[in-house]
Amino acid sequence: MSTYTLAVVGALGNVGTEMRKTLERSDLPIEKLVLMDVPENAGKIVEWKGQSITVVTAEADAFEGVDIALFSAGEAAALELAPEAVKRGCVCVDNSTAFRGSDVDPLVIPEVNPEALDNHRGIIANPNCSTIQMLVALKPIHDAYKIKRVVVSTYQAVSGSGQAAVDELHQQTRAFAEGGELKVNVYPHQIAFNALPHIDVFEANGYTKEEMKMINETHKILDPAIGVTATTVRMPVVNGHSESLNIETEKPFDLSAVRELMAKAPGVVVEDDPANNVYPMALTATGKDPVYVGRLRIDESQPNTMNMWCVSDNLLKGAALNTVQIAGELIARGLVKVPVA
């Protein structure tokens, strides 16, 4: 069996840390792991599978000899370094927004469109976290009944904004309990005991950039004919994104058949026993790989429409896990090489 050299770029960040952990428990044939980060972190030692790995600076020449690089270093770093890595024969899987809208670089969820990898040119984009979990849940329904329209409202955890947001939520919660000052730095308003219908910047059409990501990425990954509208909300939850999905299909469906379909779908776990208070929750999904669905019910206001509640760990399936799964697909399909221009 062939073995590979993999790199994690942004290895000490929240998602980079999850990538390292996910690689450690994966069965990918990794011969060597290279950990890259900002110059300030170069020289730090990280334990991985019993090895002591020294972090190196993320720079062009560090990609020499690397087969696959998993990027979680932000858009600017990806735009600068991924093309340099590709020049050195490295296939890059990027978790930022840098290449998601590209006409040539595939945007991939392995359970949804793995075939998109077949024509990659060295860079593969990892979709937005909220899009990933939604499309993993929608794919089996679309295949069976053809989705016509989706209305999605998200309830997103602060970990999606990075560690500073998690720290701010904790600080505000402690300050509230102790009668102290609730400091507001990361978000435009207090996040503790609040809900902010504002993720990323507002665009000219009144939607946020996050909302438009979900719309545009659904069209690129699943089907451009699906009507999608989104409202994304930041919640005082540390980890785990939740979504309310209203799904209209072209073909009629039986709800029990949909439950069976979802139960068999890759990457999906059904938690749907509301009589016994069983339904997906961010708290119980945290630290777990699947996309959880529940609260399946008929929308009685119009035909061929259902409602669904969907929850997943945004740092795992929404970021690190999906990226590692893409690397696995590249290896399985024999695509760990940069096509010659």
Catalytic residue positions?
Answer: 129, 241
Helix (H, G, I), strand (E, B) or coil at 192: coil
Q: Which residues pair with residue 4 across a beta bridge?
A: 30
Signed CA dihedral, 259, 273, 249, 111: sign only: negative
Q: Where are the alpha helices (DSSP H) in 34-109?
A: 75-87
Q: What are phi and psi of 294, to 5 degrees?
A: -170, -170
DSSP structure class, residue 57: E
Q: Which amino acid is at 68?
A: I
Is residue 149 within 8 Å of residue 228, measured between CB atoms? yes
Q: In whole angstroms, what is the distance from residue 64 CA to residue 52 CA? A: 20
Q: In whole angstroms, what is the distance from residue 70 CA to residue 308 CA? A: 32
Measuring CA to CA, which residue among 136, 94, 147 is closest to residue 112?
136
Q: In whole angstroms, what is the distance from residue 314 CA to residue 160 CA? A: 7
DSSP structure class, residue 117: G
